[in-house]
Amino acid sequence: MRQLPSEKSLDAVDRLVASYTLKSGTCTHPGPTVTESVKLGLAEHKDKLNKLLCPCRFYPDKGEEVTHRTWICPCDDMQVYKYCHCLLFFTEQGLPITEYLPSYHEGRETYGEVKDPTPDKGRPLKHRADAREDERLSRPS
**pLDDT above 70: percentage of residues in the chain:** 94
Residue 2 has pLDDT above 80, yes or no: no
pLDDT in tens, 104-133: 999 999 999 999 999 999 999 999 987 776
For residue 49, the domain's CATH number is: 3.90.460.10
64 assigned to some structural domain: yes
CB 90 within 8 A of CB 34: no
Identity of the amino acid at 110:
T
Q: Which of 56, 73, 84, 86 is catalytic?
A: 56
Kindly state whether residue 1 falls inside one of the protein's structural domains: no
Tell me how many domains the chain contains.
1
Q: What is the helix (H) or strand (E) element at residue 79, kind and residue range?
A: helix 76-81
pTM equals 0.88
For 111, phi then psi, to 5°, come to: -105, -10
Examine the residue annotation and report whether 54 is marked as an active-site residue of this protein.
Answer: no
Where in the sequence is the domain holding 122, given as residue range(s)? 7-138
Q: Average of pLDDT values for 73-84? A: 96
Q: Which residues contact 22 (CB under 8 A, 6 or more apart)?
A: none
Output the CA–CA distances (angstroms, integers) from residue 94 to 31, 90, 108, in the order listed.
9, 6, 15
Calculated CA dihedral for residues 73, 53, 11, 47, nearest 10 degrees:
-160
